[in-house]
Every structure is written in structure tokens, then in C-alpha cells.
Amino acid sequence: MLSIVLLSIALGISGCSPQDSTKTAAASKREVSLPTIAAQAKGFSAGALMSSNTVYVFFDTQCSHCGHLWQASEPLQRKVKFVWIPIGMINASSKAQGAALLTAASPAALMTEHETSLLAGQGGIAASSSVNPEIEQSIKNNTQLFNSFGADAVPFIVAKNMKSGQTVSQAGAMTTVALAEFLGVDAP
């Protein structure tokens, strides 16, 4: 069973897209911008909080590919600061679970618990469907920002490659080694 899971991961981890196939990219796609994300998105940090390299990850709590990226990012969290930005795209649980993560005392620990549950087929953490209106608006704003970039699948990663200095973006999960290469850092 483990070999089947590893094979499916190796053959092409991709991303989750909205279940509504009529969704189209934003009509006026804006350039992916690190300063715009830093100023407008609301997320939680994990990893090297003092790192000069911040990696932004738009994710949906119901996306298993996002769970795989969370796990792949863990060995890199000693080197890089990740900001995980929840959006509401897949189903009603997305917003509630995203809100629970944004308001958690220890969001990184809760994210690990959530992703472990999600990847085990248990649906993730239990979260109240009653969401604080400010947090709900933050998730809506995150989703609008994600859509404004013309992105259509999560996880959607935006960072500055440490070796090239270029802003890079990609939809879909990666292995730890591929993520390290994408970010321009040494693999653990």
C-alpha cells in the first residue's frame, strides 16, 4: 500500500481545483507580487520566523495535495519562513477549518494535526461552522487575491528563489527536494 502511495506521489503530485468546473481565471489577471501578498493576505507562519526568505502558500484545508506540501515543507522549516494562506475553494469545511487555523494559539501544530487527519481520510480537524465575520472576510479576501493572480489550483506557492533572486510561483505539491530546488535552498 505504501508503495502505491509513493508511486502516485512520484508520478505527479498536482493540486486541487474547484469542484465547479465553470470557474475561470480572473478576467484581469494581475502579476504575482510578493509585496502584494505580504500586504493583503492573512495567513499564519511556520518555520524560521526570522528568515529573510518568506514563502507564501495559498491552500485549501480540504486539499490533500496541500497536505502533502505541508509534510514536504516541514524539513525546510528550519531554513525558510512559510506563510500558509487559507482560501475557501473546495467545500464549506474549507472556510471553517481555515478560520480555526487562523485563530489557533499554535496554528502550525494544529495544521500538522489537521493534515495528518486529512491525509488519513478522516476529513481534518473539527471546526465550528460559526466563523467570526472578520476572519470569514479575511478568507474571502485571500480567495479573491488567489483568483486575481489567475491561479486555479492549490497549493499555490509564491516565493523568491534564493539563488536566482527571481519571484517564482507554482501550483501543485512537490517533494521536499523539489521544493528546496524551487526555493533555491539546500535540501536537508
Give pLDDT, residue 11.
36
The answer to whether residues 91 and 124 touch, using CB atoms and an 8 Å cutoff, is no
- On average, the pLDDT of the chain sits at 87
Residue 91's SS3 state is coil
Which residue did the predictor score with more confidence, 11 or 62? 62
Torsion angle (degrees, nearest 10) of CA 20, 139, 32, 18: -10
> In angstroms, rounded to a whole number, what is the distance separating the alpha carbons of residues 143 and 154?
11
For 53-74, what is the mean pLDDT? 96
For 32-55, what is the mean pLDDT? 94
Q: Give this prediction's pTM.
A: 0.87
Q: How do 81-86 and 54-59 pair as beta strands?
A: parallel
Give pLDDT, residue 17.
65
In this prediction, residue 14 has a pLDDT band, given cuts at 50, 70 and 90, of low
Which residue did the predictor score with more confidence, 18 or 35? 35
- pLDDT-above-90 percentage for the chain: 76
Give pLDDT, residue 124.
93
pLDDT tens by residue, 110-167: 999 999 999 999 999 998 888 899 999 999 999 999 999 999 899 999 999 999 999 9
**pLDDT above 50 (res 85):** yes
For 51-61, what is the mean pLDDT? 94
The DSSP output letter for 16 is B
